[in-house]
Amino acid sequence: TKANLIYHLRHEHQPPYPAARLVNRLDADSAGVVLVALDGPTLRHLQQQFENGGVMKQYWGVVHGVPAPAGGVIDLPLGPVTGGLVPHRQGVAGAPGVTSVKAAVTRYETVQVAGAYTLLRLEPLSGRTHQLRVHLAAIGHPLLGDALYQMGDADYLAWCEGTRPGQDDPWLTRQALHCCQTRFQHPQTGAQVTVFAPLPPDLAALWTQLGLPSDQPPAQVMEVMTDQAIEQPPLPPQPGTSQTCP
């Protein structure tokens, strides 16, 4: 887990990095690239890049259905849903209970259609909570495995408690969302760096089930867009574990 990684860097790694901290986070049960700063100046530099929109993040997501058009921009402000039974749920402006919205923009592109599902390349142009999940559900194509944004409050809580049968999604117990690459400016050299994360085992198995390439990402998805590239192992939830209810 991310907590175990930080503990290892601070206390077990030689040399230790007592100031190691996460620069960014992923939604619970999402997988992919997470950046770690080993000292305070690096942390502040990278956090400032995130705040100023200087970091590019690209995701793969498998959604229900086939979006039309095949690509475009989703521009829907988002905010927390108040008065509901489920904490942390987000919604689009104008939906019942949604307050204090902020601008949120997502670019998407169809990579491959696989029967009733579609692999999308996703690029959040803003950094709102659950942005990709809410935007995709709002256009009628929720992420495969995303219980929170496919169920109403009562059904979702019952599912969390184990009193409601699982979803119809046959392969996953979490959302099919993977941060495959993150691009940023190196804090010391100023060079553009891209960090890639390969698919974790459960998503690789899903890719195989759907006939998507699991050993080599589609070329149009994994474009080398910078002058440096670093490949790191993913930090996914363990395959077969249950989805975490927020």
Residue 24 pLDDT: 86
Backbone angles phi, psi at 107, to 5 degrees: -100, 135
Residue 83 pLDDT: 83
Residue 27 appears among annotated catalytic residues: yes
What is the residue extent of each domain of the chain? Answer: 2-231
Residue 92 pLDDT: 95
Residue 37 pLDDT: 93
CB atoms within 10 A of CB 8: 13
Question: Among 27, 29, 146, 202, which one carries the catalytic annotation?
Answer: 27
Fold of 2-231: Pseudouridine synthase (3.30.2350)
Residue 214 pLDDT: 56
Residue 229 pLDDT: 38
Residue 28 pLDDT: 77
Residue 227 pLDDT: 38
Buried-state track 27-46, b at ≥16 Cβ within 10 A, e below 16 = bebbbbbbbbbbeeebbebb
Task: Give pLDDT < 70 ranges for the chain.
Answer: 1-2, 162-172, 213-246
Beta bridge partners of 130: none
Residue 213 pLDDT: 65
